[in-house]
Every structure is written in structure tokens, then in C-alpha cells.
Chains A and B, each alone.
Chain A
Amino acid sequence: MSFWEYANPRKFMALTDRAMPWLFTLAGVSLVVGLVWGFFFTPNDFRQGSTVKIIYLHVPSAMMAINVWVMMLVTSLVWIVRRHHVSALAAKAAAPIGVTFTLIALATGAIWGQPMWGTWWAWDPRLTSFLILFLFYLGYMALWSAIEDPDTAADLTSVLCLVGTVFAVLSRYALIFWNQGLHQGASLSLDKEENVADVFYHPLLLSIAGFVLLFIALVFYRTRTEIRARRLYAIGLKERMANA
């Protein structure tokens, strides 16, 4: 029994079929508990007031925006190296979720930035690199939808994902060079003493877990849809071959 057995679409479908209800329930419970705890049962920050509470949406979605891209990179690599169709379809399924997380991060950031920095938008390295990440997601999705043959599309988007990753990382560091920013540094590092205070930290961890679970559940859900679409496509091809 190895991990790669789940590259078999039938095995994958069987596993996800059993896992889906659990995943959605767990994601729902941790999101509801994390967000309700964060919004209603934590004190206001002494300087930021109640606006600090947007952290429970902003930080998890920003983390996920990057992690989804990393997941797409890994699944693209698996597709290129081992040619497992489920992997390519999972990358395709993840992109719209990733772009949504990126948008949520940008939007909540703007809503948070307006009262705190006095501006909706600043050309800060972190903000700008998220905008560029957003463009990368758009290009990736556009390339998927532009190519008819699914295997060709999977190949080309995988190559784009690899090259895009290199350039996304390059842009990130080029932007630090370009402009110093308003955004604070990392506040959730594992190796640092100075993190967010514990009152905010625990509900934040819970909502991050909720976002991760929600992402896994949605990716499984969308990948199942993609697999079914591929089966339909194959049936259609067979019909046409039979009638021709």
C-alpha cells in the first residue's frame, strides 16, 4: 500500500467519497468556532480597537494563497514526472480556490489598511507581490481554459507553473529591493519569541486550521468534478469513434 495508489482515479474517488463529509464537517466546525471565538470572545487591541479582528480572515487567507500555489507546483511536478492524471486535475482544481484566497487577502488587507494606515492601497512589497501572485493565478487559469486537449493543457500549465514559481519568487525579492513597505514583518514565525499575543493566537490558529481543512475539502470536491468531467469527455470521444 503506497501513497501513489491514490493516483488511480477510482481509488481516489473511493477515498475522497468517504473523506468528504468528515472534511467538510471538520472545516465547518473549526471555522465557526475559530471565527466566533475570534470575533466575539477576544478583547479589542488597545491601539487598533476592534479592527484587529479582521486578522482571523486576513492571515489565514494570505497563508493559503501562497500554500495553494505551492500545492499546484508540487502537483504539476508530479504530473510532469509521473504522469498521474489526478495530480494534474488537482492542480487545475486548486487554481480558482487559490485566486479566491488571494482576493480575500487583498480585500481584507485593504479594509484593514484603510483605518490603520489611512490608505486602501500602498505599493508595499507584500501587497504588490500579492497583486503579482493574483496575475499569475489569472494567467495560469486562462491557459487552462484556452487549450482544448486536456493532456496538452496539463503539460503546458505545468511548465508555466514551474517557470512562474521561479519568477514569482524573484519578483518577491525584487520588490523588497524596490520599495520599503508599510506592512509589518512576519508575526507568526515558529522560531521567534515575539508573536501575536496568546489571546489572539489561539483562535487564529483555529481559523488557520479551518481554512486549510476547507481548502482540502474544496480541492477534493473540485478534483472529483474534474475527474467526472474527464470521464464524460472520454465517453464522448468513444461515442464519436463508434459513430464515425
Chain B
Amino acid sequence: MIALLTRDLRLAVRAGGGFGLALAFFLIVTALVPFGVGPDTSILTRIAPGILWVGALLACLLSLDRIFALDFEDGSLDLLATAPIPLEAVVGIKALAHWLTTGLPLTLAAPVLGVLLNLDPQGFVWLVVSLAIGTPALSMIGTFGAALTVGLKRGGLLLSLLVLPLYVPTLIFGAEVVRRGSDALATATPLALMAGITAGSVALLPFAAAAALRVNLR
């Protein structure tokens, strides 16, 4: 399992893996927003939590179809399916690798973009905390979507149509944590609910994703 994780990480980081793409996309999306709504700092402060979360979510979406597509094409997914480790564990590792290469960098880069959007100083801690807790759910849900669409020729667009509605609860609670944090309100409730979504996704979705993969490899 660790070998699989390091292999996936290496593939993602080396050339052609698109490792930096998600980060660059996140930067561009958040940098475009002020052009759209104007440079008024008070407006930017108010919408910053939502924009940062939506930006992170879209950046996450960008690299989802790579999770299984390359392995499916060169046949290594068939080998993984027949390997002695259960397919559910493979899915979990794939999601973890996706999170380490997109979710984690996004979390670490978010405060910098928060400065660009004039996020309230009290919000920075909560931005990092909420992204750190919420992005694993995004990776896991996305892995499920990728498993559903892996055999399709034009799966990319369909993938976003399937996955984005599933992201709604995470987005609501994530942005709410940052908003409440910026206004110095209690953040425990949305944070706990979001952690619940993450825990539930990580616990249950590998089974659904593995079931979908088995169908697609049939």
C-alpha cells in the first residue's frame, strides 16, 4: 500500500503529472474575482471566504479525472484490482494521494490568496483549519466520481456534473466556518458537521467507488 502511495505521488509530482496545475488554477480563479467584482476591499473581505472555498473546490475538480484514467489506459488498474490488497484500499490510497498532491498544497497556499482577497485577519486560522478538514472529503467524493466515469471517453465534463452537486454540503459548512471565524463567532458547529461529512465519506465512499470500479473493469 505504501509502495502504491509513493508510486502515485511520484507520478503526480514528476513532469506531466499536473502537480502545480491545481495550485496555478486556484491562484488564477481567485485573482480573477476582483476583476469581476471590482477592487473595493470591503466587498472583497465579505466574499473572500466563499470565493476561496469555491476556488479550492474547482481546483480540486481539475485533477480528478487523472486519478484512474492513466492507470485504466495502460492496464495497471486491472493489475491493482487483482492484487492481494482489497480494491477498497486501493481507492483509499488513490484518494489520499490526490489529497496530498492537491488538497494539502491548496490548504497551505490558501492564506496567501486570502491576503489578495483582503480576508479578515481572524479568518486565516479558520481558512486553513476548514480546508485541512474539508479537502479530504472533496478528494474522496471526487475519487468516487472518477471511479464512476473511468471507462468513458469523454468523462471529464460528466465527472464535474456528477461531482459538483455532491460537493454542496462540504462547501456550505466550509465557507460557513471561515465566515464565522472572520466575524469572531463560534465555529464549532459547522466545523464538527464538516468533519462528520469527511469522516463519513472516508469511511463509506471507498466501498461505493470500489463497486463502481469493479463494474467498469468487468
Contacts and interface: CB of A to CB of B under 8 A. Distances in A.
Contacts of A178: 172, 176
A55 interface: no
A171 B169 contact: yes
Q: How large is the interface on A (under 10, 10 to 19, 20 to 34, 35 or more residues)?
A: 20 to 34
Interface stretch (B31-39, B41-49, B107-115, B156-164): B156-164
Nearest to B161: A139
Interface string B20-40: 000000000000000000000
Given A139-B162, A152-B215, A174-B172, A163 B144 contact: yes
B169 A143 contact: no
A168 B166 CA distance: 8
A174 B168 contact: yes
A107 interface: no
A136 interface: yes
Interface in A161-202: 162-164, 167-168, 170-171, 174-175, 177-178
A159 interface: yes
Interface string A129-170: 000100110110011001100001001100110111001101
A159 B158 contact: no
Interface string A102-143: 000000000000000000000000000000100110110011
A174 B170 CA distance: 9
Nearest to B154: A146
B152 interface: yes
A171 to B, nearest CB: 5
Contact of A159 (B148, B154, B161): B148
Contacts of A163: 144, 166, 205, 208
A177 B164 CA distance: 19
A167 B215 CA distance: 22
Interface string B190-210: 100100010000000100100
Contact of A136 (B149, B155, B165, B212): B165
A167 B165 contact: yes
A178 B218 CA distance: 42
A138 B161 CA distance: 8
B216 interface: yes
B173 interface: yes
B162 A143 contact: yes
Q: Tell me the interface secondary structure of chain A in the complex.
A: helix
B211 interface: yes
A174 B155 CA distance: 29
Nearest to B211: A159
A170 B148 CA distance: 21
Contact of B193 (A135, A143, A162, A177): A177
Max chain A Cβ within 10 angstroms of own Cβ: one of B144, B161, B166, B211:
B166
A99 to B, nearest CB: 13
Contacts of B176: 177-178
Contacts of B152: 146-147
Contacts of A164: 165-166
B212 A167 contact: no
A146 B158 contact: yes
A159 B148 CA distance: 9
Contacts of B215: 152, 155-156, 159
Max chain A Cβ within 10 angstroms of own Cβ: one of B152, B155, B169, B176:
B169
Contacts of A160: 148, 162
Given A143-B148, A159-B148, A174 B212 contact: no
8 contacts: A143-B158, A152-B216, A159-B215, A167-B168, A174-B168, A174-B193, A175-B172, A177-B176
Which 8 A-B pairs rank lowest in CB-CB distance, beginning with the nearest?
A174-B169, A155-B215, A135-B165, A170-B169, A139-B162, A174-B172, A171-B168, A167-B166
Interface of A: 132, 135-136, 138-139, 142-143, 146-147, 152, 155-156, 159-160, 162-164, 167-168, 170-171, 174-175, 177-178
Given A177-B193, A178-B172, 7 more contacts: A146-B154, A155-B211, A156-B148, A159-B215, A162-B208, A171-B169, A171-B172
